[in-house]
Structure 1
Amino acid sequence: MATIIAIANQKGGVGKTTTTVNLAACLAALRQNVLLVDLDPQGNATMGCGVDKHTVTATSYDVLLGEATLTEALRWIEKAQMQLLPANGDLTAAEVNLLKTDNAPNRLRDALAPVAWNFDVILIDCPPSLNMLTVNALTAAQSVIVPVQCEYYALEGLSALLDTIEKVRRSTNPGLRIEGVVRTMFDPRNRLANDVSAQIVEHFGEVVFETLVPRNVRLAEAPSYGLPIIHYDDSSRGAQSYRELARELRKRLRRSVAPAMKEAGA
């Protein structure tokens, strides 16, 4: 059964999509069966995987509205050896159209259920807003990874995300938890970056991943080539950091699975 993780922060420019794409590719490189769900109308995760969002015929929008099955919409990403549920601008209409459907917050969870056993990890790239798409992601997920940039105002607005997570816990997904906080865009030479990094650790404690994702030119270039960083420049600091993050996440997931298996008598 897949571990489903939403990657969310309503602030733009924090490395959310970069983290989703590269973490997915690095987990796939660790021989995990991975599905990346693009739930952002910008479709940047789709483009970052080398799929043209303008030419896809079935997307996450169609799946959410019941106009296509998940299996029909999936795209195999040969280079990264993982599956993608693509997105494009059609998703901008999802907010209104989802509210017209039955059981609106559960549409993604219901769509993923038939295929969840085919994957080890499902990562959901959320839109940079707290709308019905994000609620769908949080309802479908077991946990949330929050990317936070090591820059001024890093923690601004996070209270709104945490409030949304708490509302989802109370309404549709009581088991939802914070998987971890990822510090992104870190420059060790910058005093402010170091100060903000320390603030993040002080605020969130042990849920903060040890891995720091640096500011890195090669990491910024990779999406324009439609490649995750490990397939664009595996020797770069960006590639090394996301490989480390994937290993760290896998260790966390193994620790969380073991007690659950014991409790189930496995």
Structure 2
Amino acid sequence: MRPKAMATQSLPLILKAQIFGDRVYSPQAFSRLLGISKQELLEKESQGIIPQAKRNARRERYYKPGDVVKYRNYLSIPSPIPSVRKQLFLNFKGGTGKSSLSASYGFRLAQMGFRILLIDLDPQGHLTQCLGLNNEQYPKTLYHALVEKEEIGKIIVKTDLPTLDIIPSNLNLSPVELSLFSMNSREFRLKRLLGSMEKSYDVIVMDASPSIGLLNLNAILASNDLLIPVLADFLSYHGLKILFETLSTIEEDFSFVFENIFIFLNRYNESHRICRRSKKALETHYKKYLLNTVIRQDTKIVEATSQGTPIFLFAQSSKGAEDIQDLIGEIFGMKGNGYGG
């Protein structure tokens, strides 16, 4: 029997135009993304090994984010991310900026040419909204794949950025907890689902609601990396303590540990005493997991979020964009490799 073709929802053209835009790379920036010199890039082009670059009205060469994957294949260059990373943004304390950060983080990775799947795990659909999408326009959520066993391709939204796919969310995801409760292997259904897509993506980024339930437990057990944004206040510090206690219980019950746990400060203001004290407390008690990168307080991130736009489209030269780029660099070991584009 011939397998069914995977159907995908397509973003309306008006949304494509308003959200994603046309980020392009110069030969210098593009060659750095590939890990080769500009001279080698141009030589390969002149030899016909790779396609001729596109040119603008001034006859200047340029490349698009989707070209990175194609050119790596032409040149047999391995991806800097050799195997799929399944990364979960989670904090039991709400209001830490988790959704806006995960949206811009995933979007930026896609701009850099990595194949990204963003998954919104929150029925409130904050990640979906942070990308400017009307979540009610996409009725199918992860619920339909996990519970109703629909083909995953039918709920994936393809965007005009060739390297970025999204599984959106809305209130239709709400019944998932109750439905999972009565299912066999209920804690591992998401892990199996993501396992079927590993060859299609370099990074799968999930944004979870600030709670512990069966869906978030599924997400934890399906992930390699845990990313925990925290605010520089002691309420966030207390929430972090509860999260680690929960992870300890999960380790005992399921013999599961994350390969990596990354804690990083968000909305950090060095001039505020409470921020400095909170950072010191994290350095004392969570030094093993604390990243050097901090996301500085930046009104541009707030404005971008309110407009449903990734910070890299709204204000790519802002402090927030710079810090998220550094976050990617530190997590994936790309600092100094020209990934600023």
TM-score by length of 2: 0.70
- Is the aligned partner of 1:217 residue 2:289? no
- For residue 312 of structure 2, what is the aligned residue in structure 1? 230
TM alignment of 1:78-227, pairs within 5 A: 78-79=160-161, 81-172=163-254, 174-227=256-309
Counterparts of 1:168 and 1:31, CA distance in 2: 35
> Could you say what secondary structure the match of 1:185 adopts?
strand
Is the contact between residue 100 and residue 127 of structure 2 (CA under 8 Å) also seen in structure 1?
yes
Amino acid at match of 2:88: A
Secondary structure in 2 matching 1:51:
coil
The 2-side partners of 1:79 and 1:52 are apart by: 18
Q: Any idea what the Cα deviations from partners look like across 1:147-190, whole Å, max 9, x if unmatched?
A: 11112322112232112222333344624244210111101221
Distance in 2 (CA, whole Å) between partners of 1:227 and 1:143 is 25
Q: Which amino acid aligns with 2:256?
A: P
Residues 43 and 88 of structure 1 are in contact (CA less than 8 Å); yes or no, is this contact kept in structure 2? yes
SS for the counterpart of 1:246 is helix
Distance 1:32 1:207 in 2: 25
Separation in structure 2 between the aligned mates of residue 89 and residue 32 of structure 1, nearest angstrom:
30
Q: Is the 8 A contact 1:9 1:161 kept in 2?
A: yes
- The list of structure 1 runs, each at least 4 consecutive aligned residues, that deviate by more than 6 angstroms after superposition, is none
Answer whether contact 2:298 2:319 (CA < 8 A) is retained: yes
**Does the Cα contact within 8 Å between 1:69 and 1:111 map onto a contact in 2?**
no
Of 91, 94, 98, the match for 1:16:
98
Say which SS state the counterpart of residue 211 (structure 1) adopts.
Answer: coil
For the residues of structure 2 that align with 1:148 and 1:157, how far apart are their CA atoms? Answer: 9
The amino acid across from 2:207 in the alignment is: D
Which of these residues, 130, 135, 151, is aligned with residue 53 of structure 1? 135
AA paired with 1:68? Answer: E
Distance in 1 (alpha carbons) for counterparts of 2:234 and 2:253: 33
Aligned to 2:6: none
- Distance in 1 separating the partners of 2:331 and 2:292: 10
SS of 1:210 mapped into structure 2: coil
Counterpart of 2:132, as a letter, is G
TM-score by length of 1: 0.89
CA shift digits 1:79-135 (9 cap, x unpaired):
584111111112222111110222111111111111111111111111110111110
Q: Which aligned pairs between 1:246-265 and structure 2 lie closer than 5 A?
A: 246-251=328-333
| C-alpha RMSD over aligned residues | 1.8
Q: Does 1:242 align with 2:324?
A: yes
Q: Is the 8 A contact 1:169 1:176 kept in 2?
A: no
CA contact (8 A) 2:89 2:206 kept: yes
> Residue 68 of structure 1 is aligned with which of 147, 150, 166?
150
- Secondary structure of the structure 1 residue equivalent to 2:144: helix
Please state whether the residue corresponding to 1:110 is helix, strand or coil: helix
Structure having the larger proportion of residues in helix: 1
Q: Distance in 2 between matches of 1:197 and 1:183?
A: 8
When you count strand as a share of all residues, which structure comes out higher? Answer: 1
Partner of 1:43: 125
Percent of residue pairs identical: 24
The equivalent of 1:259 in structure 2 is none
Query: Rg: which structure is higher?
Result: 2
- In structure 2, what is the Cα distance between the partners aligned to 1:170 and 1:73? 34
Could you tell which deviates more after superposition, 171-180 or 9-18? 171-180
Secondary structure of 1:159's counterpart equals helix
Query: SS at 1:148's partner residue?
Result: strand
